[in-house]
Chains A and B, each alone.
Chain A
Amino acid sequence: EPEVTQTPSHQVTQMGQEVILRCVPISNHLYFYWYRQILGQKVEFLVSFYNNEISEKSEIFDDQFSVERPDGSNFTLKIRSTKLEDSAMYFCASFYDRVGTEAFFGQGTRLTVV
């Protein structure tokens, strides 16, 4: 069964450093999302991406965050200057044909900022 793959599974970084979280969505999917989940808390929407541009972003997704699809397959989330409060699980999700259908989530990247 096709799956969404995220790397790395765990990233530890110093506060102020830049991190790039990577996702390989399912190959024929067109809509891509990043969500995050602070330990034990709700799953929060960060950003949606379609047709090589951001279609929607949340208040959390400020100037320190960026997304891109550099090579038509990978989908990346960059956090430019990490803060302690960025520590969370980050999930990538992709959708088959349009938003509002079943989402396929990756296993997540656990980001720990120290």
Chain B
Amino acid sequence: SQQGEEDPQALSIQEGENATMNCSYKTSINNLQWYRQNSGRGLVHLILIRSNEREKHSGRLRVTLDTSKKSSSLLITASRAADTASYFCATVPSANSKLTFGKGITLSVRP
């Protein structure tokens, strides 16, 4: 299966700390995306990294991609209570393929 697998499944940190979430996948990809989901709500796109990119930044988010290890990480710096949500990685095997989601990581940021 191409499906990404996130690690850890749940993460609890103190406000102000950094949160690191990992995603591993099995086959080659065109790009990998991270999404956020607040409880009972829709998925919100956070960042997309293409297979020829190694690192991208967006505000407090930093995403890395290691295609040799078939893994990606999402780092949220200086976390806030409002970052509490589920985070999903989604892989796209080729340019015209669907998004395939992992099971997600539940992040809790304690005030």
Interface residues of A (CB under 8 A from B): 4, 33, 35, 41-45, 48, 56, 89, 91, 93, 98-108, 110
**Are B42 and A48 in contact (CB-based, < 8 A)?**
no
Interface residues of B (CB under 8 A from A): 3, 30-31, 33, 35, 40-45, 48, 88, 90, 92, 94-104
With both beta carbons as reference points, the residue of chain A lying nearest to B95 in the complex is identified as A100
Can you list 30 contacts pairing A with B, beta carbon distance less than 8 Å?
A: A35-B101, A42-B3, A42-B101, A42-B102, A42-B104, A43-B43, A43-B90, A43-B101, A45-B98, A45-B99, A48-B98, A91-B42, A91-B43, A98-B95, A99-B95, A99-B97, A99-B98, A100-B30, A100-B31, A100-B94, A100-B96, A103-B33, A103-B45, A103-B99, A104-B45, A105-B35, A105-B43, A107-B42, A108-B42, A110-B40
CB within 8 Å: A-B pair count: 62
Instruction: Select B100's contact among A4, A45, A101, beta carbons within 8 Å.
Output: A45
Instruction: Select B41's contact among A43, A103, A104, A107, beta carbons within 8 Å.
Output: A107
Write out the residue numbers on chain A whose beta carbons fall within 8 Å of the beta carbon of B92: 99-100
- Other than the given A41-B103, A100-B95, 20 more pairs (CB < 8 A) read A42-B104, A43-B43, A43-B88, A44-B101, A45-B99, A48-B98, A89-B40, A91-B42, A93-B43, A98-B95, A98-B96, A99-B92, A99-B95, A99-B97, A100-B30, A102-B45, A103-B43, A105-B45, A107-B42, A110-B40
**Cα–Cα, bound, A48→B104 (Å):** 22
Write out the residue numbers on chain A whose beta carbons fall within 8 Å of the beta carbon of B97: 99-100
| Minimum Cβ distance to chain A for residue B102 (Å) | 7
Write out the residue numbers on chain B whose beta carbons fall within 8 Å of the beta carbon of A4: 42
With both beta carbons as reference points, the residue of chain A lying nearest to B106 in the complex is identified as A40
